[in-house]
Each structure stands twice: as structure tokens, then as C-alpha cells.
Amino acid sequence: MADPRRRIPRTDVLLADPRLADAVRRLGTPLVKAAITAAQDRARAGEIDHELITDHVVAALPATASALRRVVNATGVLVHTNLGRAPLSPAALDAVVAAGGTTDVEFDLTTGQRARRGRGALAALADAVPDAEAVHVVNNNAAALLLCAMTFAQGGEARRNEIVISKGELVEIGDGFRIPELLAATGARLREVGTTNRTSLADYAAAVGAETGFVLKVHPSNFQVTGFTSAPGVAELAGLGVPVIADIGSGLLRPDPLLPDEPDATTLLRAGAALVTASGDKLLGGPQAGLLLGRHDLVEAARRHPAARALRVGKLTMAALEATLRGPAPPVHVALHADPAAVRARVASLVAGLAGLGVDATAVDSVAVVGGGGAPGVELPSAAVSLPPEYAVRLRTGEPPVVGRVERGRCLLDLRTVATDDDRVLLDAVARCTS
């Protein structure tokens, strides 16, 4: 009897199949060949029929050549660090696609000469924060702080290599990265003042001297110290005679009534901060970026520092940032300001649809949070679809993956963090888990 393994199509034959030929154009030959090899091995092992190899290859191929997969965020965390923080707006996504080709990122089409890199994004940022004399963009907020330390606390003739900071603001920013270690890596010396819970203006004043490069005011972001606490604000610190640099972290450019305790760039610049650093991919709702806003001389000095080139962002980030600032409200802003009644109505509609499929789904009240180190303690009223706990794994491993949270023995899908257009996607995903 002939060996059935001889009937397995050769790789070149499979690659000639129109469906796989199209996949090669989209994904590249190595990725498609790897999927073919895996399917051939399964056929040799008797796991699949040799006549269905092409079908299995097509089913196994990813949508794109990237390992990153689109995920539906139903966790109730608006800025989820593990899920990529802020989802970009359609306008920002369109801008990224356009910028993916050849662009005028650093070229003036009128004069034919070199131009300021990312001038459109910088102009949009300057327009968004008129109180800033100048602006600059680097690759994340930690890079913005690093650049400030290298520029303004690196000694020189005046030997100004000290950064004065409160002990209560020596925070860890995630994954083991700590502000003091980040700053010390530049060669700057940290002058810690006050205590964990209380630091006075007199503590800062006693520490400021001829070696002070600047006073750093860091927003704790992802935690709160309550009770017997006190700390001077930027307005008080601005009178000490040295620059005050305020790290707000979350990227809030203007006050938001929903986040009364969250510092914003406009307010702190008006209070006297010489520079404000912030993130672009948190409450601003844009791509990962670090923003420097403030005095023209200081921003220009940071921009001209030799390390600034190593920290600069690419054209895709510039395009997404400009579109976020100029375009319609990004998803994070929409989710933050969502009407709880509208969210509950969407949940009720989904539950009704799932009931028709025989799914054990109920509508429950929920609490969403900002996340990403922003607005700790702020609770946002929301609503969620409640499912049996086993749905959590089924949904995470489905296509597209849906990430909810397990709470009190139920899988909750919080709709405040799900775009309205994805309600049908969510319904279909749950339905597939049921069949």
C-alpha cells in the first residue's frame, strides 16, 4: 500500500494556490511557508486530511505580519498599560497610514529645503497649550525627565548638578523603573527634602543653593497619600529663584471637571512652572510620546542637547500626535466623558441579544477607572455584561480577543471602555464562545 504521506502537496504547489499567493504578498514568504510546514507536519501525523492542508494554512495565518493582535478592551480601565494604553482615534490611524509612505516630515515642499522636523505636530501642541512659550516631543515621559536632568543638572561652570525633590515624590513609575534611579543615571545628584507625607516650603528653601539645577515636582500618579499630609504647590516653589520642572505624567493639557485633583499643563505653567513634562499616550489619548512644555530658553536648550536626537520620535508618532490634537475627540476622552445612562442602555441591549442565544448574561452596575497611572482614586460609574467565569478565558483566546475582568465569580465586560461600534463585535465574540 502506498504511503499516504506521499499525497501531501509539496510546498511549491501550495504556494501556487491563489489564496496563499495573495497571503505571500500581504505577509511575506517566510511567514506563509512556516504555516505551510506546520500544516504539512500535522497531515503527516494524521491530525488533518491532506486535501485540507490549504484550508488549515489559510485559517492559521495572521491578519498582519505583526505579532500584535487587536484586542477589545472590556476591562473598565480606560488607559490600560498592558493593552497599549490609549487607543488611537480614527483620524490618528489615518494619519499614521499616510505617514507610512514617503512624507515631508523634515522637508519644505515650497522652498525645496530642509525644514523643522515634525513642525505640524509641534504647532498643534503649541496651539493646545498657549501658555507654553515653546514645546518639544521625545519618545516618552521618562525620556523627557531624562533630557531635563541631562540638560539642566549636569554641572558646568556653575556646578549646578543637583535636583531638589521631595522624599514623598520619589516614585516608581512601573515595571521596577524608579524616578530617583532614572535621574541618578544621568550623573545628577538628588537632594531629597522633607518626609514621605509632609514637605514644607522651608524644606525646599533650605536645600536650594548654588549647586541647584532645578526643583522637580513629581505627581505621584498611581497612588495617593492621605491623612496627615502637606506639600507646597508649584506657585510657592516658583519663588525660590530656580526653575521648577513639574512632571504631571498623565498628559492632561487643560483642567477637566471630572478630574479635579489631576494636575494639568496649563494650570501649572500659569502657576509658574518653568517646564512641564507629560505623556502623550495617557489622558491626552495619543501615541506614546513625552511632551516638554514651557519657557522658550529651556525648551530650546533641551532640544539642542546632544542626547535629544537619541530620544526623538519618528514620523508615525508625529503624525498620530498631530491628528490627536487637531482631530476629533480620541477614544480615551470619549470613554472618560461617556454618559453612564447610555452605557447602561448598551449593556441592556447586549444582554437582550445574548438572552436570545441562551447565554447566561445579566446587566450589572460597574466602576471604571482611568488607569495608566492617572487619576488614582477616581471612580467612573459604568455598567457591564456579567457572564459565567469560564467566559473570561474563552473570550481572551478568541478572535478577536476580548479582555474583561473576573469579579466575584463572574466575568464582567465593562462597556465604558468598549467603542460603541464594537458592540456587535462583542456580541458575536460571546456567541462564538457559546456554540
Q: pLDDT for 421-433, tens place per residue?
A: 999 999 999 999 9
d(CA 413, CA 353): 15
What is the reported pLDDT for 82? Answer: 94
CA distance 115 to 380: 44
Taking residue 225's Cβ as centre, other Cβ atoms within 10 Å add up to 13
* Average model confidence (pLDDT) across the chain: 91
Mean pLDDT value across residues 304-324: 96
Contact predicate 346/420, CB 8 Å: yes
pTM, two decimals, is 0.90
Instruction: Please give the distance of CA 183 from its chain centroid, rounded to a whole number.
Output: 22
* Closest residue by Cα to residue 196 from 169, 234, 223: 169
Q: Angle at the Cα of 171 (from 165 to 176), degrees rounded to 5?
A: 135
Residue 89 DSSP SS3:
coil
Name which of 289, 246, 301, 312 is nearest 141 in CA terms: 289
Report whether CATH 3.90.1150.180 matches the domain 72-84+334-434: yes
What is the pLDDT, as a whole number, of residue 1?
A: 42
Which DSSP string do the residues of 293-328 spell out, in sequence order?
A: EE-HHHHHHHHTSGGGTTT---HHHHHHHHHHHHSS
Percent of the chain past pLDDT 70, that is, above it, reads 94
What average pLDDT score do residues 250-255 get? 94
pLDDT in tens, 224-239: 666 667 788 999 999 9
All three cell numbers of 94, joined, read: 489615518
CA 319 to chain centre: 16
Q: Where in the chain is the domain with CATH 3.40.640.10?
A: 90-328
User: What mean pLDDT do residues 355-379 have?
Assistant: 90
Write the class of the CATH domain 90-328: alpha beta
Average pLDDT over residues 38-47: 90
Under the banding of pLDDT at 50, 70 and 90, the label for residue 402 is: very high
Residue 140, phi then psi, degrees to nearest 5: -165, 175
Per-residue pLDDT band for 389 (boundaries 50, 70, 90) equals very high
Calculate the alpha carbon distances from 64 to 34, 90, 317, 387 in Å: 15, 19, 20, 31
Higher pLDDT, 27 or 169: 27
Measured between alpha carbons, how far is 194 from 167 in angstroms, rounded to an integer?
6
Element (H, E) at 379: none
- pLDDT above 50 for 249: yes
pLDDT for 154 equals 77
Q: What is the DSSP letter of 408?
A: T
Beta carbons of 215 and 194 less than 8 angstroms apart: no
**Cα–Cα distance for residue pair 138/289, rounded to 1 Å:** 6
Pairing outcome for strands 72-73 and 402-403: parallel
Residue spans in the chain of domains classed CATH 3.90.1150.180 = 72-84+334-434
